[in-house]
Amino acid sequence: MTGPTFNTLPDGRIESTVTYLEMRDRPTSPTPAAPVKKLSLLHAEEPTVAFYRFLYNSVGGPWLWYERRAMGDEALAAIIGHENVDIYVLYVAGVPAGYAELDRRNMPDIELAYFGLMPEFIGRGLGTYLLHWAIDQAWTHEPERVWVHTCTEDHARALETYQRAGFQPYKRETVVMDDPREQGLFD
């Protein structure tokens, strides 16, 4: 597995292309079969900030996820503890392998706010399974649309994977931001 290539600008900033995708109809194809035998998905009903940070940092570290690293514990707890935010953790043989976060706070839209696997579990078919499972879960709430965004720092196959799952791009933008590695958000 190779990591992303960051377009670092000379002044300690990063340029990224963000693609927003949406799905306006419930998928008709079934969720793929679980790719491994000892797999479980659990709803983290009252996740602690420490457990959430473990998931977020483990999954998002290679892809430079920084927004929630920069949040204080109280602000993060308010989001992950909200009754309309659902965090589902994928376990393989009892070990956390990834997670999906569905944000229903702006119904009738549901955002797949965060989704991914720990690096050790990439390449085993688990991502496709978890994504389709999360999409199915989102549609049980009968939204008008489910949406997600990805950027050039995410896994090289992220955009393609979302499109294969049925998401359609509706907006692209280039953003320039401070490099979070220079702000002390990464070790």
| pTM of the predicted protein model | 0.92
| Host domain of residue 22 | 7-183
- 86 domain-assigned: yes
- Please report the pLDDT score of residue 1 as a whole number: 47
Structural domains counted in the chain: 1
Residue 143 has pLDDT above 50, yes or no: yes
- One-letter amino acid at 38 equals K
Q: Quick check: is 2 in a domain?
A: no
CATH number at residue 156: 3.40.630.30
**Residue 41: which of 111, 96, 113, 123 has the closest Cα?**
96
Instruction: Compare 100 and 183 and report the one with higher pLDDT.
Output: 100
Determine, yes or no, domain membership for 1: no
Report in angstroms the alpha-carbon separations of 73 from 27, 49, 79.
36, 7, 10
